[in-house]
Amino acid sequence: MPEHVIIAGAGIVGVSAGIWLRRMGQAEVTIIDRLAPGEGTSHGNAGVLAACSVAPVTAPGLVRKAPGMLANPDFPLFVKWGYFPKLVPWLLKYLSNANDSDTRRISKGLTEIVADTVAQHKSLVADTGAQDWVNDCDYSFAYANRAAFEGDAYTWGLRHEAGFVPELREGAEVREYEPNLSSDVGLLATMKDHGYIRDPGGYVKALAKVFEALGGKIIQAEIKDFDLTDDKITSVQTSAGTMPCDRAILATGVWSKPLMKKLGLSIPIETERGYHIIFEDATGGPSHPIMVASGKFVATPMAAGLRCAGVVEFGGLEAGASKSALDLLRKYTKSAFPGLKATGEVEWLGHRPAPSDSLPLIGQVRGSGVYTAFGHHHIGLTGGPKTGRIVAGLVADQPVNSDLAAFDPMRFG
């Protein structure tokens, strides 16, 4: 085993990797992040352990539909047009995957990472005192009617092939199961055996404490560069100084792109800006996580209230939040749950790391001793523990019995 492993990134992937490395017997493991654990993208997701999230956004027909989506002010897709010229090279690669062959290839890869998510989370927290963070639940998709549900037949076909078949409720059955849903919802497609986290940021912070209790170390600093000798990593340059290491794991989401450039790889990855609103101490919301298909957002009951997360926006890392995106999310929430009441609202904007092929990068960069574990797009919380376990096994020379070719970072080499 290496003497010292540095993990860049204190989100769900980095902290999971740290825990598994210590369990595998790695002597010295240090997590470094410019933020405290659970303060970045891992803080602001919908909280669902979405085992059935095996279908990428780039389904066949997206190229034809995209202009209409952008032109519709009520569709949850936004672009900051000043950023658009920088987006175009990535966008062309992204849209090139919107065909049946590539979609099925990507779906197969996603299934490997997400299908057993609940079991992976439970394995991560086993015997740690953190078990209560992981909750079993149903996960439902709300549609206006059967025709709207059947309009998603292609995506449901991919889920079916991955072993996920929904239970359908229609008409009065919908309100018997979820009384607070609007009468505009005429069909629920419910998946069993899913899960959710009632406070994703708090969960990652709790896992960070587990890591430290196992002997791991966490340093708050910014990683600037890697030092390599004969193409092998020897240290990491940080805002707190040079830190020697034998191997490193890069798990900093979309912020991994400039660090990969320092390793000679230009990764086609963009920030997909995502929003959530927490309706504090909410009443009149759902009893379990629901994806509202018309608004492309997920409503999840959490410790602080009802969190509604969604909206896709392209606009880079620097621009502030868009009022129009938050207003649309608010509008769709009130439409789906007309009786919703809350004591206040908390708005949030974060950055989903979106590779052009919608698959995370998991593996070693050449033979450098630098391992990637980023690029999870919409499945970061869902796939984080398994990704952490996989990459920890690679680093500790205890590889998993899985085909990781789809996630090879050198596919962009």
Other CB atoms closer than 10 Å to residue 64's CB: what's the count?
9
Per-residue pLDDT, averaged over 40-51, amounts to 94
pLDDT higher than threshold 90 for residue 386 = yes
CA proximity to 94, closest of 236, 312, 270, 222? 270
- Arithmetic mean of pLDDT, 210-235: 97
- Check pLDDT > 90 for residue 355: yes
Model pLDDT for residues 95-106, shown as the tens digit of each residue: 999 999 999 999
pLDDT at 1 over 80: no
pLDDT single digits (tens) 123-178: 999 999 889 999 999 999 999 999 999 999 999 999 999 999 999 999 999 999 99
Domains of the chain: 4-43+202-266+357-412 (3.50.50.60), 50-195+269-355 (3.30.9.10)
Residue 9 contacts residue 252 (beta carbons within 8 Å): yes
Provide the pLDDT confidence category of residue 400 given band limits of 50, 70 and 90.
Answer: confident
What size, in residues, is the chain? 413
